[in-house]
Structure formats: C-alpha cells, structure tokens
C-alpha cells in the first residue's frame, strides 16, 4: 500500500525539523501513542492504541529514524504487531520551503497482514490520512503554545 500526503504549515523548516524529531513531542502528538521510548539513538519502542473500526487494539513495535538530511528530509522505518495483525512501513518525510511556510511531503509504503487486511486498502489509506490531519492539527497547537510561551 502506498500513501502520499502533504501539508503546508506556517513554521520554518528548522522549527519543524526539531519538533518532528523530538520523541517527547511525537509521543504527545501521534494519535493513540501510549509509549515512545528510546532504545538507542534514533530507535524507539512504540506502543499505540488504535480505536478505529475493525482495527481496534494495541499495537507494539519499533520505529527507527535514518537518512537524516537536516533540515530537508529523513526516513522512518517501523514494524509492529497487535491483536488485529501486523504492519511494516517505510516513510520518507521531506520539508520544503514554500514562501514563508514549509511544505511537508510524506511518501509512505506499508505492508499489512492478519485480520487488518480485511479492512481494505482504501479504508486504511483514508484512516491514515485522517490520522495525519489530526497529527498536523496537534502539531500546530503544540508549536503555537511553545511560541506563546517564548514571548
């Protein structure tokens, strides 16, 4: 399954780079995250609770950050298992200057197995994009709060 998503946000690449690679920020902002613990540099043990139709459950796995090209791009690789199946994914995140904003492009490739497959690719893609929109709304709130706190 391939998912492409982009969002233009009103912050500099440098600000986004720091936020998108901060495990404490990610633990607060990624929908359903219960645990986001560093096991080694750029490698995290993750547990997420998803309350989505047909894929409800707790999923645990590893997320690793690689190919960092500050402040332009990096790659996330992960795999996880849960009661409803398993998933493996590879995500390239690219940050591009867009006038006074930054365009975040996400190109993800995922493989899933187990009962989750019955949900169907289009539904999983829709859920993934919805979660991405929720993440970016939370990121905007987080960065607005940080900016207000620094003034």
Phi/psi-derived region of residue 117, left when phi > 0, alpha when psi is between -120 and 50, beta in every other case = alpha
Cβ-based neighbours of 18, under 8 Å, separated by 6 or more: none
- The Cα angle at residue 34 between residues 50 and 107, in degrees rounded to 5: 60
Report pLDDT digits (tens) over 57-101. Answer: 888 999 999 999 999 999 999 999 988 888 888 999 999 998 889
Give the count of domains, the chain: 1
What is the domain-level CATH number for residue 9?
3.30.530.20
Report pLDDT digits (tens) over 36-56. Answer: 999 999 999 999 887 666 667
Report pLDDT digits (tens) over 105-126. Answer: 999 888 878 877 776 656 667 7
Q: What is the mean pLDDT of the chain?
A: 86
Could you give the CA distance from residue 85 to residue 81 in angstroms, rounded to a whole number?
6
Give the structural domain span for 133: 2-149
Please compute Rg for the chain using Cα positions: 15
Could you give the CA distance from residue 46 to residue 54 in angstroms, rounded to a whole number?
21
């Amino acid at each position: 399954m391939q998912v492409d998503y982009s969002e233009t946000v009103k912050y500099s690449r440098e600000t986004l780079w720091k936020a998108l690679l901060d495990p404490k920020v990610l633990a607060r902002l990624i929908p359903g995250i219960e645990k986001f613990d560093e096991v080694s540099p750029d490698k995290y043990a993750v547990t997420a609770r998803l309350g989505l139709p047909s894929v409800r459950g707790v999923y645990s796995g590893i997320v690793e950050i690689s190919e960092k090209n500050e402040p332009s791009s990096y790659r996330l690789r992960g795999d996880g298992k849960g009661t409803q199946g398993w998933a493996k994914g590879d995500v390239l995140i690219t940050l591009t200057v867009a006038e006074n904003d930054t365009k975040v492009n996400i190109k993800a490739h995922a493989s899933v197995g187990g009962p989750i497959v019955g949900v169907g690719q289009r539904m999983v893609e829709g859920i993934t994009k919805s979660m991405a929109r929720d993440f970016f709304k939370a990121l905007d709130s987080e960065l607005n709060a940080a900016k207000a706190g620094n003034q």
